[in-house]
Amino acid sequence: MAHKLTPKDLKKLNSKKGLKQFLSEEPITISKVLKTLNYESRLKDLQEELIKLQHWVTDNNEKVVIIFEGRDAAGKGGAIRRTTEHLNPREFKVVALPKPSVEEKGQWYFQRYIKRLPREGKIVFFDRSWYNRAVVEPVNGFCTQEEYNIFMNQVNQFERMLIESGIRLIKFYFSISKDEQEKRFEDIKSSPIKKWKYSAVDQKALELWDDYTSYKDKMFAETSTEIAPWIVIRANRKTKARVETIEHILNIIPYNPKNEKIIEHVEVEEKIMD
């Protein structure tokens, strides 16, 4: 069935961006071009709202922490890049910590994360966070059962203290299917510019899928609280996931002036079915 074009569609297709899509080397259809153009247009509108949000955070000395968790290759990094693309780099940080040093291993587990919390007027994005100890570490044997139990006993109170101290905390979990994870791993391994991303942990991710699911379910059951709920992003479609992530941020943070016509209200999911 042919795609029924509206005047608005025709205007988009005749734009520079639309014509550029048709000139690409990849197989292309009108439907695919329109989908890409609609995504880019929507993303631009949302990114403009994010700039307003950042100004509000700075002007009101707010402190914002946004956590991105999920399975390997779930699209966390891409979502962070689209979210921060046009923000003032002086007013935010992206934190992606390596494995702890010998010194850090001897510290209270949360200590290395406390050092990265935002000052007034700043936003911090955690590309993986203290929740490494809830899933990745126990699945791969990077922590003991006792260390895991201590973390699970402390994390809700830790987050309550952050929130009561004035930090606005948002927790995202990016959910993908096993087939999609496998497909993305193959894409990464075959790409000369991406294959560096394929780590030893990634190599075991599919084999340990059920173990990840088990610990993820425990994490949701015990750490999705009223004051700090998990927001599940269905991430098999990267573009949809990125848009929904920004929509959630704009909905949750009470910045002003807020253009309600731009922001689509989305419901928070606190359960996951991957």
Give the pLDDT confidence score for residue 34 in this predicted structure: 78
Mean pLDDT of the region 46-52: 98
Would you state the structure tokens that stand for residue 105, as one six-digit string?
A: 């291993």
Mean pLDDT of the region 122-146: 98
Give the pLDDT confidence score for residue 270 in this predicted structure: 40
pLDDT over threshold 80, residue 22: no
Mean pLDDT of the region 50-67: 98
DSSP H helical ranges for 60-99: 76-84
- The CB-based long-range contact list for 208-212 (8 Å cut-off, 24+ gap) reads 208/139, 208/140, 209/178, 209/181, 211/139, 212/71, 212/135, 212/139
- State the CATH class of domain 30-252: alpha beta
Work out the percent of the chain whose per-residue pLDDT is above 70.
86
15 contacts: CB under 8 Å, gap ≥ 6? 37
Rounded to two decimals, the pTM is 0.86
**CA–CA gap between residue 241 and residue 231 (Å, rounded):** 12
Q: pLDDT digits over 155-170, tens only?
A: 999 999 999 999 999 9
Q: For 8-27, give the secondary structure using H, E and C.
A: HHHHHHCCHHHHHHHCCCCC
Looking at per-residue pLDDT, the higher value among 195 and 1 belongs to 195
Q: pLDDT digits over 227-257, tens only?
A: 999 999 999 999 999 999 999 999 999 999 9
Whether 274 and 213 have beta carbons less than 8 Å apart is answered as: yes
